[in-house]
Amino acid sequence: MRNYVVFKGVYSGHIKGLLIQELSPITKPKMRTTITKIDGRDGDIIDKLGYESYTKTISIGLTRDYDIDEIMNYFNGEGELILSNEPDKVYKAQILDQINYERLVRFRTARVNFYVQPYKYLLNEPPFVLDITNQTEMKVANKGLEKSKPIITLYGSGIVSISINGMYAFRIYIDDEYVTIDSAEQEAYKGLILKNRFMAGEFPMLKTGINIITWTGDVTKIVVEPKSRWL
């Protein structure tokens, strides 16, 4: 099967004259650490500080009917990236380095560096939606192999408390129809209006596998985007 990428929602096969010759191998990001050496102590103290962003490099080529301006416009900016060797995953990527288009035109080959965030996400993952009648819990699956940072939208009114897998997570006051809790961005909001001041507790995480969400308060509907992810 021919290699391809989808960048910012655009399939590379739709770019006139563009060939994706080689894709970056599937790799795991590096862990940031600080290492402390203490005289008289065996071994070192290693503090883990989170995973680094890294570069995925692809090789591109040209066919005879290429449009260099269209190709230059395609490899620009930032957005979601899908690679054909991982067709069910999506990366958050941006292009920071210059691309040698003179080499591309002269020798019909060049390299493109995508600077990607460490986690990749499940492509087109549907949300879990529960219209509440007499239910007292909701099951949500994190299909990834890492803890995920979901987006949870609560519909209702007044003070609502949320627990996940039996552990209290957060409490929030819904003052206007609904509120969204975005764990990745560490924000609570309705549309463009921030609601962090109405929230107490921690932004929730979902473990790998099935998670049980329970609540107290006046809740009429819950929508959970699990944001399943991998390294």
Residue 49, Cβ neighbours under 10 Å: how many? 10
- Amino acid present at 196: N
Q: What is the pLDDT of residues 5-46, one digit of tens each?
A: 999 999 999 999 999 999 999 999 998 888 888 887 878 888
Q: What is the pLDDT of residues 133-157, one digit of tens each?
A: 778 889 999 999 999 999 999 999 9
Helix, strand, or coil (residue 165): coil
Give pTM, 2 decimals. 0.87
Instruction: Tally the C-alpha atoms within 13 A of residue 30's C-alpha that lie toward its C-beta.
Output: 7
Q: How confident is the model at residue 116 (pLDDT cuts 50, 70, 90)?
A: very high
Q: In whole angstroms, how far apart are CA 199 and each of 180, 187, 194, 213, 219?
A: 11, 10, 10, 17, 16
pLDDT over 90 at 105, yes or no: no
Tell me if 5-122 shares its fold with 128-230.
no
Q: What is the pLDDT of residues 192-214, one digit of tens each?
A: 999 999 999 999 999 999 999 99
- Amino acid present at 32: R
Residue 127, burial from CB neighbour count under 10 angstroms (0-12, 13-18, 19+): middle
CATH of 5-122, one of 2.40.30.200, 3.40.50.410, 3.40.50.720, 3.30.1330.10: 2.40.30.200
DSSP, residue by residue, 92-113: EEE--S---HHHHHHHSEEEEE
CATH number for the domain whose boundaries are 128-230: 2.60.120.860
17 is written with which tokens?
Answer: 């004259």
How far is residue 56's CA from residue 45's CA, in Å, rounded to a whole number?
Answer: 31
Whether the CA torsion 127, 195, 132, 217 is positive or negative: it is positive
List the chain domain ranges. 5-122, 128-230
